[in-house]
Amino acid sequence: MARWEFKLPDIGEGVTEGEIVSWLIKAGDVVKEDQAMVEVMTDKATVTITSPKAGTVVETRGTPGTVVAVHSVLVVFELDAGASAGAPSASSSSDDKHTNGNGHANGSAAHVNGGAAKSEPAATAVGDIKEHLPGMGGASTSRASGSGGGASANAGGGLANAYFNEKPLATPATRKLARDMNVDLRIVPPTGPQGRVTKVDVETFAKAPKQAPAPTAQAPSAPTASTPASAPAHAPVKISAPTAAQTALEERVPFAGMRRKIATKMAQSKHTAAHFTFVEECDVSALKELRARLRPAAEKQGVKLTFLPFMVKAVVAALKKHPILNSALDESTNELVYRKYYNIGIAASTDAGLMVPVVKDADRRSVLEVAREIERVATDAKNGKSKMEDLSGSTFTITSLGAEGGLFATPIINFPEVGILGIHQIKQKPVVKDGQIVIGEVMLLSLSFDHRIVDGHVGAAFAYDIIRYLEDPDRLFLEMA
């Protein structure tokens, strides 16, 4: 018998670690080749890792909730004498980490690109790809009590409303069955060990009648002993029951995934930072002319030149004058952290919700480089291909409503940052220049600040510095680092 260490394989492009969700094996188990061993949640999917070899489990490393780095040992096996223990697994050698044409690690450890295929069986990761980035939120209601929770949840056919689990446990075969039967595993009540959804659970759910739940009586308008008049502010809001006719016109979907994560972040920011908003006009006539002159040269280099790169450079220049705006409050240590790097978040609307891809080291990039990077991270976000490093680490955020800019807004800070800039639609308005009324290209800027850290006059000075750079872009280039 020989010992062999199985290491967490590359299970997604840009994924460097995963969180153990559930072990499907334990020490002493005899594991077959391709048998499911562990479920791991990454920033992109919840995947089931299968064994590339047959053997006896000696040790599993990590408990549910443990974050494990790629290429770290997950399982130690005893292999039969006939099995090769010397050959590395798909993840145990740096030689096995092939890259695609872009230089990124291949998204699947089950395939080899750019080199000769190895005869050694590779671990596979069967992913439950979701419409959001897993690990960025999600809610689950409590399971029905007892191991037969599925039966009670199935009563009346109101399954979708009775149960929801953001991270259902199931084997690859069960997941395939669910896909084939068009069943959402998240709303299937489990009856298997450790809360696992079984094939029988999927089949039972698919056959259950999907009747609308019977309406309940209207809640009393006056408070009773069981509904105190002064409920706490954080108490969950329950929608009053509709009539039978209205029930048929309603649709309920789980408030989960990216949408719930956004809600959590916004609520955290709103209830933690003491917001105040400053709004001012900015005449960008000169900037508009400059962009028009530079666009042909940018297009020759394959770059779409919008106003955003200039906004980013103006913000960076202003942040250098007001370093408090590039800081963050570490409440765990009561320290104000001044960041001397400039990573600018660009809020982008996607099908999954509002995301904030980040332009790293914006101070070290030219306008063209900033434009190219904005286009890259924004496109990846809209196509659901963002890497975690492109969605984290921002020090200040810009949000734009573009053509739907409205008059002004009160943007919510991307916590734990201390400020955010909202830019709006450019409109032609009369402005006074040299004592004369002329038509100007006017944009409103809405800036929100954390009043715990940023005083009103500091926020206003920061805003006016941005405005001066945008109204006189030659000055921006003159002072650009």
**Does residue 93 belong to any structural domain of this protein?**
yes
Task: Please say which residue of 75, 102, 129 terminates a domain.
Answer: 129
Q: Does 11 share its domain with 34? A: yes
Q: Does 286 share its domain with 143? A: no
**Does residue 239 belong to any structural domain of this protein?**
no
**189 has pLDDT over 60:** yes
Phi, psi angles (nearest 5°) of residue 21: -95, -50
Q: Are 70 and 15 in contact (CB under 8 A)?
A: yes
pLDDT, position 468: 96
Residue with tokens 């308005």: 429
pLDDT, position 348: 83
Q: Does 331 share its domain with 200? A: no
Q: Does 397 share its domain with 425? A: yes
Mean pLDDT of 106-129: 39
Interval 410-431: pLDDT, tens: 899 999 999 999 999 899 999 8
**452 has pLDDT over 90:** yes
**474 has pLDDT over 60:** yes
Task: Please say which residue of 214, 240, 273 terminates a domain.
Answer: 214
Highest mean pLDDT among 112-116, 135-139, 402-406, 410-414: 410-414
Number of domains present in the structure of the chain: 3
Interval 120-165: pLDDT, tens: 444 444 443 333 333 333 333 333 333 333 333 333 334 444 577 7
**Residue 315 in tokens:** 């913000």
451 is catalytic: yes
Interval 253-311: pLDDT, tens: 777 656 777 787 888 898 889 999 999 999 999 999 999 999 999 999 999 999 999 99
The region of weakest confidence among 152-166, 202-216, 260-274, 335-349 is 152-166
**Does residue 20 belong to any structural domain of this protein?**
yes
**Does residue 345 belong to any structural domain of this protein?**
yes
pLDDT, position 59: 92
Mean pLDDT of 105-131: 39
The region of weakest confidence among 193-207, 354-368, 398-412, 453-467 is 398-412
Phi, psi angles (nearest 5°) of residue 177: -60, -40
Chain-centre distance for alpha carbon 250: 28
* H-run or E-run covering 160: helix 159-162
Q: Does 112 share its domain with 26? A: yes
Q: Does 314 share its domain with 200? A: no
pLDDT, position 214: 43
What CATH number is attached to the domain comprising 112?
2.40.50.100
pLDDT, position 293: 95
The neighbouring-strand residues paired with 436 are 433
Mean pLDDT of 376-393: 86
CB proximity list for 242: less than 8 A, separation 6 or greater? 215, 250
Q: Does 185 share its domain with 292? A: no
Q: Are 134 and 45 in contact (CB under 8 A)?
A: yes
pLDDT, position 421: 96
Q: Does 151 share its domain with 44? A: no
Q: Which amino acid is at 282?
A: C
Summarize the chain as % helix, strand, coil (round to 5).
30, 25, 45
The whole-angstrom separation of Cα 7 and Cα 73 is: 4
| Among 414, 422, 424, 406, CA closest to 355 | 414
**Mean residue pLDDT across the chain:** 76
Share of the chain above pLDDT 90, in %: 36
More confidently predicted of 81 and 359: 359
The whole-angstrom separation of Cα 427 and Cα 354 is: 25
Q: Does 290 share its domain with 391? A: yes
Q: Does 30 share its domain with 125? A: yes
| Among 123, 119, 111, CA closest to 53 | 123
**Does residue 362 belong to any structural domain of this protein?**
yes
Residues written for the chain: 481
What CATH number is attached to the domain comprising 453?
3.30.559.10
DSSP labels, 75-109: EEEEEPTTS-SSS--TTSSGGG--B-TTSPBPS-T
**Cα–Cα distances in Å, from 25 out to 59, 84, 96, 203, 365?**
10, 22, 26, 25, 49
SS3 readout for 388-420: HHHCCCCCEEEEECHHHCCCCCCCCCCCCCCEE
Cα-Cα-Cα-Cα dihedral of 34, 40, 42, 46, to 10°? 70
Residue 326, Cβ neighbours under 10 Å: how many?
Answer: 24
Query: Of the residues 104, 275, 451, 457, which is catalytic?
Result: 451
Residue 11's pLDDT band, with cuts at 50, 70 and 90, is low
Q: Does 118 share its domain with 154? A: no
pLDDT, position 389: 83
- What does the DSSP 8-state code read for residue 213? P
Task: Please say which residue of 101, 129, 157 terminates a domain.
Answer: 129
| Among 164, 162, 166, CA closest to 153 | 162
pTM exceeding 0.75 = no
Q: Is the four-CA dihedral 225, 228, 229, 235 of positive or negative sign? A: negative
The whole-angstrom separation of Cα 215 and Cα 224 is: 21
**Does residue 318 belong to any structural domain of this protein?**
yes
What CATH number is attached to the domain comprising 171?
4.10.320.10
Boundaries of domain holding 188: 138-214
**118 has pLDDT over 70:** no
**Does residue 250 belong to any structural domain of this protein?**
no
**Does residue 271 belong to any structural domain of this protein?**
yes
Q: Does 271 share its domain with 410? A: yes
**68 has pLDDT over 80:** yes
